[in-house]
Structure 1
Amino acid sequence: MKLTIHGAARQVTGSMHLLEVGQYKILIDCGLDYEKDRSVQSNENFPFNPGDIDVVVLTHAHIDHSGNLPTLLRLGFNGQILCTPPTADLTELLLFDSVSIFMRKAQTKGRYGKAKGKFNTNSQPLYLQKHVMDTVERFVTIGFNRPFKVNGDIELTFIPVGHLLGAAAAVFKINDHGVEKSIAFTGDIGRKNYPVLNDPEALPPVDYLVSESTYGGRFHSKGKSVEETLVEVIEKCCIKEQGRMIIPAFSIGRTQSLVFALNKIFSSGLLPPVKVFVDSPMASIATGVFRNYHNLVNQEAQDFYKNSGDEFEFDNLTYVENLKDSRQVSNYFEPCIIISSAGMLEGGRIQDHLFYNIQNYYCTILFIGYCAKGTLGHRLLRGDSIVHIKDRDLAVYATIKQTDVLSAHGDHEDLMNTVKQQDKSSLKSVFLVHGETESMQALADSLDFEGYKTIIPEKGVSYEI
């Protein structure tokens, strides 16, 4: 059996791991890599023949895990994609959204190239809607904690890990030429007591563990709840300063958790009413998916629904559907909260809101999630005084804030606890992926101290296991 880490090796995005059992090849996740100034087109340079992959296992819907699936099919993959039912529905939304982003960027680059009298080789989209439709047809859904026979020698079980509706660790039991082996891929690990989502479940004992490490060496803030943190920031920005707050949030997952938290704040009278705009058509559709899988949200959300009604609806909340209404939000001069995507600011309607508000002294931009290096969100968080938005360089006068109370990733302690559920005498190796180098090293140091054997793999290096 051989494991090769082809993506998210010593970086966060682009998760893609190849597990070979004899001649049978399993690809775990196939995400877009958009770090280190990589062009979109560089994602089609697979280090293997896509036609040789027998099956794909998808841990969850986020685009850094799912976003390159249509490229894989476009270049020859012809197998099934195994995932949970919510992951299939949410991935479909995200992939179609990716096509829209590709098309907008291609049109922009195409116009620029034509104006300069040059041919722009990067103007072609990575994939089109028909490729996404082909991808969706490949989904085969499996419920949580239901062992599934991939073939005669390989059994797959999805274990809930929080983080996002439908997110799972992929646990394999394998008969490798008569030897029983087991390996788990954590995907992204959630945190306890997160709005809407259930806590991660413990993984069964395995021989090998491939673990994410996004928050290695970092600890989430303690002491204040999600609601307390939001009340403090909203009260200052929207009540005392009579300003507006812009919250970049991923349409799928983060927005639903944020809306539920705001619902609890305003319905309980912790703050006077403030207008809230959710400016993301995809967020509206994704919220419908959350409603469809209401049996998979946490007990708090289910109880709220029974006692108070829809957790994703409340007075003064407006879901903005069309572009015309989105533009009108900029002309709303009363204090308000604007929730828009994408969370790292790399596309979507959020860029319009930034364009018109980045130089507004009475605007606060509140980041509630991780921003990968190279993204506009990362540049704002590191304190750049001038940023490039929609073909213009703009000075940053708005207040930039960040909180981790709505981060859907487990922190260092959560990651350690995930590994420490395993018996160190039987767990042969922990492979650390999906993290910046310093985060991986911090987690590796702690695990080594506890007596676990850790490996920080380089991209493309294979391991016989």
Structure 2
Amino acid sequence: MKLTIWGAAQQVTGSMHLLQTNNYTLLIDCGLDYEKDTFQEENEYFPFDPAEIDVVILTHAHIDHSGNLPTLIRAGFKGQILCTPPTADLTEILLLDSVNIFLSKQHKTKRGKGRKQHLGPRPLYLEKHVMDTVDRFVTIGFHKTFVLTDQISLTFIPVGHLLGAAAPVLEIKEAGQTKKIAFTGDVGRKNYPVLKDPETLPQVDYLISESTYGGKFHSTQGTLQDKLIEIIHESCIKFPGRLIIPAFSIGRTQALVYALNKIFSQALLPPVKVFVDSPLAAQATKIYRKHHDLLNEDSRAFYKASGDEFSFKELSYVEEKKESISISNYHEPCIIISSAGMLEGGRIQDHLYHNIQNYYCTILFIGYCAKGTLGNRLLRGDPIVRLRNRDLMVYASIKQTDLLSGHGDHLDLLKMVKSQDTALLKKVFLVHGEEKSLNSLAEALTEEGYQVEIPFKGQSFEL
């Protein structure tokens, strides 16, 4: 049996791992790699023949894990895509959103007799390819053993992080031996709004683990509710201004809306208007409602006592563009939640353009912002940023909290691995992390007695 790491090797995005047995080939995740300038080339061609893959196993819906599935199908993959029911639903809307992003990067100019020339990269795929992908989904519930062949079975274990996110555990019989292999996907954290805590994995022989927050520790000072109350009071009540929160539409926004619902429903603050300005967030929220039975106990108890977690009197979901524009004319204190989380495109840029020079505006970052993004430039304190081809002074207050990060930190990752017996776990492969994070987690695990490998892209291992 051979494992080859083809993505998220010594970097965060583009998760893709090939597992080959004597007569069956599995691909675990097929994400977009968007960390390089050669985005198109990195994602359009595969280092293996997609037609030879028998099945794809998808850990969760985020684009760095699911975003290149339509390209895989275009390139000849004929098999099924196995995932949990929420993952199938969320992946569909995320892939359709990716198509819109691809198309937005194609500028159209008139040329000759009314003909239009497309500039910019050609889309990796279109809506029809996404629909072809959706047709391949076969959904499996958590803890339900699914038999792929008489030699291979699969079980999904919940890991938090995002609705439907799972660690696939494979049991494979080969050459008279039975081996268990687990892929963590992305690991969540305890007590996260809406989501259940990550579960302990069963004992396995090999573990492929993410390491995004290796060496990093989440804040332990205060609760999310206390932090939000403090910032809202300062931004919207003590001083009648605006609080703008860039948030990813799927996962982060639902957690934030629920946290705000609890604050306002308990009258912990005077009423403040809240706008969720993201059509994608509205679609994702419907999926969270659909799979309500998979939300955590706190969320379900709130529903029984008070009703819909994702709806309250002060809250409005904004879907039409004209409604989004009209928010600029709302002159009362308000909270605006919009995407994208790193400020690289989306409606959030419209709100920034109108408010970045507003002394009575606060911009609160609740997630990671990669180097080179507009969000990162604001967080590092750049006094001037460029929006809509204009250089604008930054007068708004910039704040950040990691209390809504959906990733488990160093201690959470250690706990996930340390549930495995060092005498029985033959090796841990660390992926999905920057160099410093990978090395920090590898050092900590080695000290605990585990055999650790940090693969490079394309490196193969006989298991």
Match of 2:124 in 1: 126
Write the mapping of 1:329-408 to structure 2, written as runs, cut at 5 A.
Answer: 329-408=327-406
Q: Normalising to structure 1: TM-score of the pair?
A: 0.95
* CA distances 1:262-285 after superposition (whole Å, capped 9, x unpaired): 000111111111110000111111
- Please say if residues 205 and 424 of structure 2, whose CA atoms lie closer than 8 Å, have aligned partners that are also in contact: yes
Which residue in 2 is equivalent to 1:68? 68
- Gaps in structure 1 of 5+ consecutive residues: none
Of 426, 437, 443, the match for 1:439: 437
Maintained 8 Å contact 2:40/2:121: no
Structure 1 pair 376–25 and aligned structure 2 pair: CA distance change class (3 A): farther
What is the rounded CA distance, in whole Å, between the counterparts of 2:335 and 2:129 in structure 1?
A: 36
Alignment of 1:46-445 (within 5 A): 46-107=46-107, 110-111=108-109, 122-445=120-443
Q: Deviations over 1:226-280 (max 9, x none)?
A: 1111111111111122211111111111111100000001111111111100001
2:2 match: 2
Write the letter of the residue equivalent to 1:92. Answer: E
Measure, in 2, the Cα distance between the counterparts of 1:308 and 1:386: 44
Distance 1:331 1:121, change over 3 A: closer
Which deviates further from its counterpart, 18-27 or 285-294? Answer: 18-27
The answer to which of 364-373 and 211-220 deviates more is 364-373
Give the 3 Å change call, closer, same or farther, for CA 79–250 of structure 1 in structure 2: same
SS at match of 2:4: strand
1:372 Cα deviation after fit: 2.8
Aligned residues: 460
Cα 1:33/1:395, change in 2 over 3 Å = farther
Structure 2 distance, partners of 1:307, 1:431, is: 44
- Residues 167 and 188 in structure 1, CA contact (< 8 A), matched pair in contact too: yes
Shift of residue 198 of structure 1? 0.3
Tell which deviates more after alignment, 39-48 or 150-159: 39-48
Residue type at the aligned position of 1:139: F
- Matched residue type, 1:63: I
**In 2, Cα distance between equivalents of 1:222 and 1:398:** 27
Q: Quote the offset at 1:371 in angstroms.
A: 2.3
| TM superposition shift of 1:386 | 3.4
Counterparts in 2 of 1:125 and 1:393: CA distance versus 1, 3 Å? farther
Cα displacement string for residues 63-92 of structure 1 (whole angstroms, at most 9, x for unaligned residues): 111111111111111111000000000000
Give the Cα separation in 2 of the matches to 1:9 and 1:392: 37
Please say if residues 212 and 433 of structure 2, whose CA atoms lie closer than 8 Å, have aligned partners that are also in contact. yes
The alpha-carbon distance between structure 1 residues 63 and 12, as it changes in their structure 2 partners (threshold 3 A), is same
Give the Cα separation in 2 of the matches to 1:215 and 1:32. 20
Q: Which amino acid aligns with 2:10?
A: R
Structure 2 distance, partners of 1:387, 1:246, is 17
Distance between the aligned counterparts of 1:41 and 1:87, measured in 2?
A: 27
CA-CA distance at 1:41 after TM superposition: 4.9
- Quick one: which amino acid aligns to residue 384 of structure 1? D
Q: Give the residue type in structure 1 aligned to 2:394.
A: V
Structure 1 residues 194 and 376, CA gap change in structure 2 (3 angstroms): same
Residues 110 and 117 in structure 2, CA contact (< 8 A), matched pair in contact too: no
Partners of 1:354 and 1:40 in 2: how far apart?
29
- TM-score normalised by structure 2 residue count: 0.96
1:20 shift after superposition: 1.1
> In structure 2, how many angstroms separate the alpha carbons of the residues matched to 1:430 and 1:124?
38
Runs of 4+ in 1 over 4 A off after TM superposition: 110-114, 118-121
- Identify if the C-alpha distance between structure 1 residues 295 and 451 changes in structure 2 by more than 3 Å, giving closer, same or farther: same
Measure how far apart 1:141 and its partner are: 0.2
Checking the alignment, whether the CA contact within 8 Å between 1:3 and 1:462 is kept in structure 2 is: yes
Q: CA deviation at 1:135?
A: 0.4
Distance in structure 1 (CA, Å) of the matches to 2:183 and 2:111? 43
Cα offset, 1:111, TM superposition = 4.2
Moved more, 233-242 or 192-201: 233-242
From the superposition, tell whether residues 113 and 341 of structure 1 become closer, same or farther in structure 2 (CA, over 3 Å): farther
SS in 1 for 2:105: helix
Checking the alignment, whether the CA contact within 8 Å between 2:244 and 2:364 is kept in structure 1 is yes
Q: Which runs of 5+ in 2 are unaligned?
A: none
Match of 2:3, SS state, is strand
Shift of the 52–121 alpha-carbon distance from structure 1 to 2, 3 Å rule, reads farther
3-state DSSP class of the match of 2:354?
helix
In structure 2, the partner of 1:39 is: 39
Q: Is the 8 A contact 1:216 1:435 kept in 2?
A: yes
Distance 1:122 1:460 in 2: 29
Stretch of structure 1 that moved more, 393-402 or 72-81: 393-402
What letter corresponds to residue 126 of structure 2 in structure 1?
A: L
Deviation at 1:43, TM superposition (A): 1.2
Q: Per-residue deviation at 1:427? A: 0.5
C-alpha displacement of 1:49 = 1.8
Partner of 1:5, secondary structure, is strand
Q: 1:215: how far off? A: 0.7
Q: Is the 8 A contact 1:80 1:138 kept in 2?
A: yes
Counterpart-to-counterpart distance in 1, 2:235 and 2:187: 32
Q: Give the residue type in structure 2 aligned to 1:281.
A: P
Q: Is contact 1:41–1:122 with CA below 8 Å preserved after alignment?
A: no
Which deviations, in whole Å up to 9, do the C-alpha atoms of 1:319-370 show, x marking residues without a partner?
A: 0020000011122121111001122223321122122222222221111112
Separation of aligned partners in 2, 1:318 and 1:299 = 26
